[in-house]
Structure 1
């Protein structure tokens, strides 16, 4: 009998989400917007300490609207980490602006702040306008905002924090999603909480929030007839999906705890293995969204790819870290400042199953497979 596949980070939903969805359906609010959307926005803003929140149908939509409102467009540059998911760079291209990719800190995978400083200085010397910097909180750990925010402020460039992977994380006691002029969350099916598909933009700027909300609802003017003076987007979140999000948010801390427990099991398995480290290990604000190991094959005697193949044969899903944006064919020719750090992480990193929905038997199966692989080496 074929074993059931253990996936990387599947949705973790149960009876509470069912209750919330049923209540939303019975209320009659089944179209986009409604009381659950309003409440979900308030819940998340309160948790993160932000003044305003605008729920959208994806994190990508929130990035797009945030960039537009910050002035991204033709003849503007937006600085993006090269180690990120494609959506971060795609949203820049949607606006007509040009992404400029910056390499990562090899220890954390987050943007290299020293390199960012050099790039901002270079662009300033060249007289080029930078609309925004988008730091990405990689794999559930915040970027180094103590250094990054002053660098961007000195350059007069706003920060749009991409916290898509980091809800529940923190940096020096400040919540992920509360940094910068605005921030973005994702509630995609693989994220730490999900609304099936969805996202949110958060800010303390009332004018920015109002503009984003306006653009997300087809830029419809507040008149009885349908009148538009701007091009808008159908980007708002469904009331039913917001109900799922409200239930998920109640369970967030417990889900983080389960991911933390799994991270500790992995740390124990690899503790005495030469040439293997956990990416970003020791960050006290980690939300443990995904556990990534980095393997030096010369020291370990095996590669990340070999472990991936071994686990795949046992129906356990793994994945390399994100392919750097400057290596993506679609971004060929885009400017980049690289040190090789992201390329090395792409070559040597491996993401392990990290979902909070994994039961004890599944956890034991994954850990046993890893331990068996290590014993065979």
Structure 2
């Protein structure tokens, strides 16, 4: 009989979520309106600080879409986008019929290479258009090279959309991810560090932008006694029930960060004797990762990501390949890519390991046994 499955990053309830869900039912606010939404947004604004105005939405993808729309991205515009990411980062560019220009990663954070970003800007200028935005991702919870990317952004006056879908609680030089972009987004999908079952937020720097985002996310319904619409809107609001889950989850956020970082310490100790396996770690003290997922690069010829994954699979332990870069996807293969394919090499050699905040000692013992089996 197989042992229970160890999942990569399952939801982890804190215990108070039902209180807020019951409140939604008791007050009959089970629509995309209600006190849970208001309080969830306020709680996140207080947590993030730094002029953060939060709009609760149905997904992080919706947040990126609205961010690009608020930056007036239109058909034919260029948007610079990190290639090494989940497809949800890039798809909103196509929603608006804009043109993605994909950029390679650098090796220390696996995120946007500043030199390649500047090369991408120059490429766009040669085509006769300045990019409308730079989408910068903090992959697997690791902050991107903020100083360098912001420098390019300011040099060419191009706004940053900060995709911190995986990086709630991560910091760069003490400042929280989600506060560096002209617009920022965070995801609360079921596998994230805290969840609303599905959902995300758009973080604006001005209260007026929050109001505009809320307007567009509610079908662009005008403030009249009848249904009146003068522009295209979307059904992107978060439900009051989902926001109730988020309120309970927000109460345990710091504990979840602590638990994920303890998982990283576990893997660091476990893998230090393996010359052929490199654990992805913070480059220096400027970076503080929530280590949403712990990831490895397999360097030797004897081991491969396929072999390691097969060994774990046989023991009912979930692992997953790293994100396949956008420029290698059939959907995006005909779009411009700028870089040396560092992210493609990472994809070829990388693997995600179980990293849930509820990872027990028994689970860790099973994982350790599988790791030690790799030596044989």
TM-score by length of 1: 0.96
Q: Distance in 2 between matches of 1:171 and 1:107?
A: 14
Larger mean Cα displacement after TM superposition, 226-235 or 335-344? 335-344
Q: Distance in 2 between matches of 1:166 and 1:253?
A: 13
Residue 333 of structure 1 and its aligned partner are, at CA, apart by: 0.6
Q: Distance in 2 between matches of 1:114 and 1:365?
A: 42
Alpha-carbon displacement from aligned partner over 1:207-256 (angstroms, at most 9, x marks no partner): 32222111000000000100000010010000111011111111011011
**Count, aligned residues:** 373
Alpha-carbon displacement from aligned partner over 1:168-187 (angstroms, at most 9, x marks no partner): 00000110000111100100
Q: Distance in 1 between matches of 2:283 and 2:26?
A: 46
Larger mean Cα displacement after TM superposition, 183-192 or 20-29? 20-29
Q: Distance in 1 between matches of 2:84 and 2:28?
A: 43
Match of 1:287 in 2: 290
**Structure 1 moving runs of 4+ over 4 Å:** none
Written as runs of structure 1 = structure 2, the 5 A alignment for 1:39-54 is 39-49=39-49, 50-54=51-55
Q: Distance in 1 between matches of 2:372 and 2:123?
A: 48
CA contact (8 A) 1:75 1:129 kept: no
Match of 2:358 in 1: 357
Match of 2:315 in 1: 314
Residue 27 of structure 1 and its aligned partner are, at CA, apart by: 2.3
Match of 2:187 in 1: 186
Distance change >3 Å, CA 368–CA 19, structure 1 → 2: farther
SS of residue in 2 equivalent to 1:129 = coil
Larger mean Cα displacement after TM superposition, 348-357 or 44-53? 44-53
CA contact (8 A) 1:109 1:279 kept: no
Residue 164 of structure 1 and its aligned partner are, at CA, apart by: 0.2
Match of 2:176 in 1: 175
Match of 1:230 in 2: 231
Q: Distance in 2 between matches of 1:282 and 1:338?
A: 21
Match of 1:151 in 2: 152
Residue 85 of structure 1 and its aligned partner are, at CA, apart by: 0.2
Q: Distance in 2 between matches of 1:29 and 1:363?
A: 41
Written as runs of structure 1 = structure 2, the 5 A alignment for 1:23-62 is 23-49=23-49, 50-62=51-63
Q: Distance in 2 between matches of 1:288 and 1:338?
A: 26
CA contact (8 A) 1:109 1:280 kept: no
Residue 282 of structure 1 and its aligned partner are, at CA, apart by: 4.7
Residue 272 of structure 1 and its aligned partner are, at CA, apart by: 1.7
Q: Distance in 1 between matches of 2:48 and 2:236?
A: 22
Residue 141 of structure 1 and its aligned partner are, at CA, apart by: 1.1
For the aligned residue pairs, the C-alpha RMSD in angstroms reads 1.2
Residue 359 of structure 1 and its aligned partner are, at CA, apart by: 2.1
Q: Distance in 2 between matches of 1:74 and 1:24?
A: 40
Flag structure 1 segments of 5+ consecutive residues without an equivalent.
none
SS of residue in 2 equivalent to 1:139 = helix
Match of 2:299 in 1: 296
Match of 1:346 in 2: 347
Residue 14 of structure 1 and its aligned partner are, at CA, apart by: 4.0
Alpha-carbon displacement from aligned partner over 1:46-82 (angstroms, at most 9, x marks no partner): 1111331100000000110110110111120111111
CA contact (8 A) 2:77 2:131 kept: yes
Q: Distance in 2 between matches of 1:178 and 1:118?
A: 25
Q: Distance in 2 between matches of 1:184 and 1:324?
A: 20
CA contact (8 A) 2:305 2:349 kept: yes
Written as runs of structure 1 = structure 2, the 5 A alignment for 1:1-377 is 1-49=1-49, 50-282=51-283, 284-298=287-301, 301-374=302-375, 376=376
Alpha-carbon displacement from aligned partner over 1:335-376 (angstroms, at most 9, x marks no partner): 1113121111101000000000222211221122212223x1
Q: Distance in 1 between matches of 2:126 and 2:280?
A: 35
Alpha-carbon displacement from aligned partner over 1:265-293 (angstroms, at most 9, x marks no partner): 11111102113211234554100100000
Q: Distance in 2 between matches of 1:290 and 1:51?
A: 26
Q: Distance in 1 between matches of 2:139 and 2:255?
A: 21
CA contact (8 A) 1:81 1:111 kept: yes
Alpha-carbon displacement from aligned partner over 1:280-317 (angstroms, at most 9, x marks no partner): 3455410010000011123xx31122111100111000
Q: Distance in 1 between matches of 2:178 and 2:294?
A: 20
CA contact (8 A) 1:83 1:104 kept: yes
Residue 124 of structure 1 and its aligned partner are, at CA, apart by: 2.0
Q: Distance in 2 between matches of 1:20 and 1:309?
A: 41
Larger mean Cα displacement after TM superposition, 248-257 or 13-22? 13-22
Q: Distance in 1 between matches of 2:246 and 2:125?
A: 42
CA contact (8 A) 2:143 2:170 kept: yes
